[in-house]
Structure 1
């Protein structure tokens, strides 16, 4: 294996993708196999598939370089107009949630420098994501908002106050994507030399959740808010408990400052699939983001995680699994392929590699740009990588027989590292059904190449097909219009609080021990 250094002149500094990849169109030949047992409810009907719009308040979220494309409006993400118009569009288009990813620091693994990421606009710049939610909530009634926040960098008391406030302002349409961070760049931005060790981050997160459940579920009784002008009593102090938590990582002595919000605990998302992450997610998460190179690989992870949840006393069907998926849509397959070729003109290879390396922690500049990755995870040239990193490099996507840094960068230029499909609404719906049938997924984080046109195309070309095929529920819209996000997730009115088998329910006011 060659070992190209970051400053080697053979490593291009800003190489656009100049030719179409044949690999990007290999999905046309998938066999039309009938749906298996996955995708159906116990009564034999199709389960309702949930759709999230996957965005980030910044440039170059998943498709680096598209800020150069005249169709793309990501340069206006620092305005409220972008987000207000997007929220109206998504609600009208029957999306369930706008999911907002986040990151701290810059991607500085590739070539051991942040320069390629900054030059290409690879998740740079990034703006704060919570400030925009209230404006979007004001112009919608049912659209949910998923917000990524990290347990490693922020005191639980502050996060609990902020999310309870947002849950009030949105009338219960807030979700928290729980992350522990994966980037030493983020740690350095927060004043740390490096992140705590991987599994320790989940130990920290476990205590974080114990404290935050006490605040959200156990500090206020349901009837603590009195608003009695006759006795000048706003809240009954006997029904507002001061939480006293003194743990290894966190200390807090205070009542929760916010009265109970519609959901109390926001809907909980989580994405870690390492052994520690899967154990944490199967215990706490209601929705799990999961990824992998193909449906069979992902299906095994989903099966194991559901079993793990059941072993912890939870109903495995309470967990909803989502994959990220990026469609490139047109009224015909040919029109969609033409869009793809247009998008590829604006992609920046170094920016895509910088983003991939920043997220994976693997500096692909140490490999030859056209050098094949080993297929064996135990290959000695991968010995310096973690088990997860080896998995990333050796489990190539379906249809790829050649797998090099250049091809990986070109592949991740469209929708990041998530699966994608190019074609008409019918063809994309076929691919979604393949993931449902094989992997047993419950929903999709719909990614984008250009914004907001990507979601306009989903609404115009894909939603009608999914409706016709019966994947969006009998009502063809939210199951509980105007309801909380948790009600809309499970499709049951009144189901706005944590379910009884969820560990957070043990911290409710009437069961929490003083």
Structure 2
């Protein structure tokens, strides 16, 4: 089966800078509940695994040394909290999953653990957490720091952070702690609840988890880093991994490396689902789809696209000539975006102009354009060439892009036997992996309450 997530963000435009100006685009209504509930109903009708909600803390101020371009073009600013739209979407759906991005660098683990438990309850176990450590110095300054931690140091922090939240989710409350015994007047058996105690280089935590056990306890863990440090983190912790790159030549080696790293950690092949970024532009015929894509491109903000790329890479693209070749730079921003347009595919040389054109529609992933048959052929070929399990689909025009996928692509994939026709019942982890709780090989399992069920 080929799996779909919708790649969204609680902002304007997300991965297609400038397209908020399109007359049919709805992303300017991102700050209304109707925007999110309509999207949720649409995605569930299309059988999507979930909506993957990106987030960023801080502004894209690398381009030109100022946030002016990002503000002018709505380049992921303004941006609202991704967690707060989840209950509204959950209320109008039964099966759709929700992968929410939270930057652990600026969140106390004790409080984040409670928020995730709350969302797992309110969604009946349909919550996942995309674990990120951030890449913008503007976020660090806004949080009172001089700059963000070094790239690899952020993953060291993340390792300790995960140990804390796993202990809270899995080890504080026994499965039988909550009795709800009206006759005896006992809601919780205190003998089945314990405080967790952690003391490490970054965190000191002593306390009882504030929430009672939720359907999944630990949310489904998502991760998006493919640097060596990020790959190691994903191999240990992630259940779903998001990879991005412009071509199979870039994606295939990353998928193989992730699967090998997970195997080295003792995990089974089916313990890791990998989704690649892609954008689909589809219509009844190839000609109509190409015309639609040409119309979309007329709205792209190239400056907004370069503001995005500058933030992702830490390189000020405003200082480069549009026809200059993009050369690799090593810094403490994200590593993957720079690799995508420099050394990931030695056969491809990118100019700044080409980066702006490419990023302007759907970010750094490929764009598949054509009739339903043409697009589905391309999706199947990409899966065969890379070994991914599915796609995180970016949109160009909200919600038109996803509506076209539901109308045209999903039925064609189902006709080919490559797309589910019904959801599996139960929490998100059961829908994806056939179980409600993390498996015994996952590091979270090692923190389970001594008297709790396996």
TM-score (norm 1): 0.85
What is the Cα deviation at residue 365 of structure 1?
2.0
Within a 5 Å distance, the mapping from 1:288-367 to structure 2 comes to 288-367=241-320
Kindly provide the CA deviation profile for residues 118-175 of structure 1, in whole angstroms up to 9, marking residues without a partner as x: 1111111111111111111111100011100011110100100000000000000000
Hey, what's the Cα distance between the residues in 2 that align with 1:385 and 1:216?
A: 31
Q: 1:118 aligns with which of 42, 53, 71?
A: 71
Displacement after TM superposition at 1:291 (Å)? 2.1
Q: Tell me how far 1:389 sits from its aligned partner.
A: 6.5
Poorly superposed stretches of 4+, deviation over 3 Å = 382-390, 395-398
Residue of structure 2 aligned with 1:88, choices 24, 28, 41: 41
The residue aligned with 1:457 is 404
Distance in 2 between the 1:238 and 1:203 partners?
Answer: 34
Report the aligned-residue RMSD.
1.9
Distance 1:258 1:383, change over 3 A: closer
Matched residue, 1:4: none
Q: 1:238 aligns with which of 179, 191, 201?
A: 191
Is 1:159 aligned with 2:107?
Answer: no
Give the superposition deviation at 1:293.
Answer: 3.1
Q: CA deviation at 1:201?
A: 0.7
Q: Report the equivalent of 1:485.
A: 428
The answer for the alignment partner of 1:503 in structure 2 is 443
Contact 1:421 1:431 in 2 (8 A): yes
Quick one: distance in 2 between partners of 1:94 and 1:507?
Answer: 34
Superposed CA offset, 1:486-509 (max 9, x none): 11112x3xx110011111111111
Corresponding residue to 1:127 among 65, 74, 80: 80
Q: Cα distance 1:402–1:251, how it changes in 2: closer, same or farther (>3 A)?
A: closer
Residues 270-300 of structure 1, C-alpha deviations (whole Å, 9 max, x = no match): 0111111111110000011112332133222
Assess, with a 3 A threshold, how the Cα gap between structure 1 residues 69 and 337 changes in structure 2: closer, same or farther: same
Contact 1:55 1:101 survives alignment (8 Å): yes
Determine if contact 1:293/1:396 at 8 Å carries over to the other structure: no
Shift of 1:316: 3.0
3-state DSSP of counterpart to 2:84: coil
The match for 2:354 among 407, 413, 430 is: 407
1:195-344 aligned within 5 A: 195-344=148-297
- The structural deviation recorded for 1:356 is 1.2
Q: Secondary structure at the match of 1:458?
A: helix
Q: Residues 168-211 of structure 1: CA distance to partner in whole angstroms, max 9, x if unpaired?
A: 00000000000011111111122211111111111110000001
| Aligned mates of 2:222, 2:310 — CA distance in 1 | 24
Tell me the SS of whatever aligns to 1:188: helix
Aligned to 2:342: 394
State the alpha-carbon separation in 2 of the partners of residues 362 and 430 from structure 1: 36
